[in-house]
Structure 1
Amino acid sequence: MSTFPNPTAPAATAPAIAFHAPEALRLFRECFHAIGDNIERALTGKRDVVELALTCLFAEGHLLVEDVPGTGKTTLARAIAASLDAVWQRVQFTPDLLPSDITGVSMFRQTTNRFEFLPGPVFANIVIGDEINRASPKTQSALLEVMEEGSVTVDGTTHQVPRPFMVLATQNPVDMSGTYPLPEAQLDRFLMRISVGYPDHRSEVAVAAGSAGASAIETLPAIAGAQHIQEFVQVARQRVNAAEAVVDYAVRIAQATRVSPHVRLGAGPRGSVALVRAARVRAASQERAHLLPEDVKALAAPVLAHRLILSPDAELAGLTPASVLDDVLRTVPAPALGHMAKARV
């Protein structure tokens, strides 16, 4: 029997997942929700945020959590790391942080009379980057290659990071003095950008009483190992059928952002690819072997909003990328279920 539904079971006892087993999607759903239940012990009342973060993890994407201080950004990141029996590293971004502090450096060893590569904190399964917008652009750009390619090049030698690999970055959208806004090229590397938001009254009481929040992270058990996560990534990618009509719907949404009169720069092809990848995970988390238009609609805002640059007139009018996406979703017709082809894309 799978140990995933039991939050107290150590990840080391969980069996390896047979990728082609008939129950692969069932095990995916059990693992997904068991990890979500575990994280909620630290971040209570935020199930939707937790599931978006896990969707990003299983879609092999990177997550940017943007919110005001004290809302649980770092708690979410640490709870995800604690729930996995995997290697994780935390980097506090500061203006004096150097690119080599992230990627690693080659050091000369007198004992061997040769240079030896010392890996940086990006060589982990989960990399938590706190206050990423406080680092210099040069340091921020050091993450670009590893986020997109899963590798680091130092002194002409390429080093692969372990899999699965996820950068979970946080940033504060207020008090911007001394910060460096992420360039569009780097924002595009994040599969999603989400906000945690303030907790409800009951959840805030639990945090104040010490039964939730950062104090609860130390007691969280590991639910699944890195090997399981990597196998489940393939389950979502290969075992969930995407009808051509649903993929076409996701592409039409991305294309509609490019021609919107309120948008100066819309979502590129990377956005539509990310939307389909995330939708596959959402379907798998519900033990479905096929995509629905609702999967695409539900994930359009967290996947695409941060890829839009609004026109000056739209910003003056008080529009936001999320509100523009709402208009796009209302104007782009979803495919009828009865006309969707069953062929996998």
Structure 2
Amino acid sequence: MATPADIAAMRRAIALAARGLGSTSPNPVVGCVITDAAGEIAGTGWHRRAGGPHAEVHALAAAGDRARGGTAYVTLEPCAHTGRTGPCAEALRAAGISRVVHAVADPTPQAAGGASVLRAAGVRVESGLLAEEAEAVNAAWLTSVRRGRPHVLWKYAATLDGRIAAEDGTSRWITSAESRADVHRLRAECDAVVIGSGTLAADDPHLAVRGIEGAVQPLRVVVDTHATATPGARVLDGAAPTLIAVGEHADTSRLTGVDTVVLPPGAGGGLDIHALLAVLYGRGVRSVLLEGGPTLAGAFVAAGAVDKVIGYLAPALLGAGPTALGGAGITTIAQALRLHMTETVRIGPDLRITAVAATIPAPAPAPAPVPVAKER
């Protein structure tokens, strides 16, 4: 049975893992805490970037000789393969770790098996401690492994009566400066930010991360079926990479030098959402922040491709104007996408509500095989 000290150490490892959000793709975020034989913390670490040392290696380096006879708390099962770095299971064994506690088993065939390697070497291995919390912080990578597509977080801002703009189309600003700053945190934690041509035309958003030191800029993606984007759009300014997804018959002559991809049509008349996610997956994107308007959000929901929702609700009423979600293929209450609320937080004067799908949507069609990094 886990002790309070075990729980505290794993919770700290989970917090460390979160520090890697937005900078480790296509690898997971992982945190590690090492205690010495007396149970005192000897070293900590987290996976900071793809291709760099894993969390266990950082923690072992910090612990030094104090690791011998100690315990390693790791949010993900230590890897057993050699990629751009060596196997962490072997590093833990060589350092003399006597006990390893990991929260979540590694689901990838390339990296899994570290627990078995450690047990075979006489190391005591325990799994499942704070698994739900560890899964939540690593949801993007785990979703990409299990479902073969990026994890999708849909974010929107609305009034208490669900309006995202007034009847005349004005929307700046529904929510507070504090909420808008929080959105930059979400962007910094994701690999790609996605909007549609409607949002591009209405708001000319920039979509790059501001105000967060050291943030890795996400890929800015515009779903633009008819290639209506103009060279002067702020999303094309070079502050971050940009991809324009267009339809098969779009005229892209105005987008010379812009990274574009042609996608097949989707069921609702726009572009195929599964094809878009397959393209992003092939580019190493494991987490998507959907910031588009109601039409694009509806297309993602209809495709069963929304894993998490964050709504910023302002204490205001408009009474008319567009709502946050457009047609999503839901015609009766029995078809409602039921969500499980995981958090409610005050952000300035606003309320931030976080919810995840209560039931897993039907699996999307598997993307075509693509060459991606296989390292954990």
TM-score above 0.5? no
More helix by share: 1
Give the TM-score, by structure 1 length: 0.30
More strand by share: 2
Quick check: which has more Rg, 1 or 2?
Answer: 2
Give the TM-score, by structure 2 length: 0.28
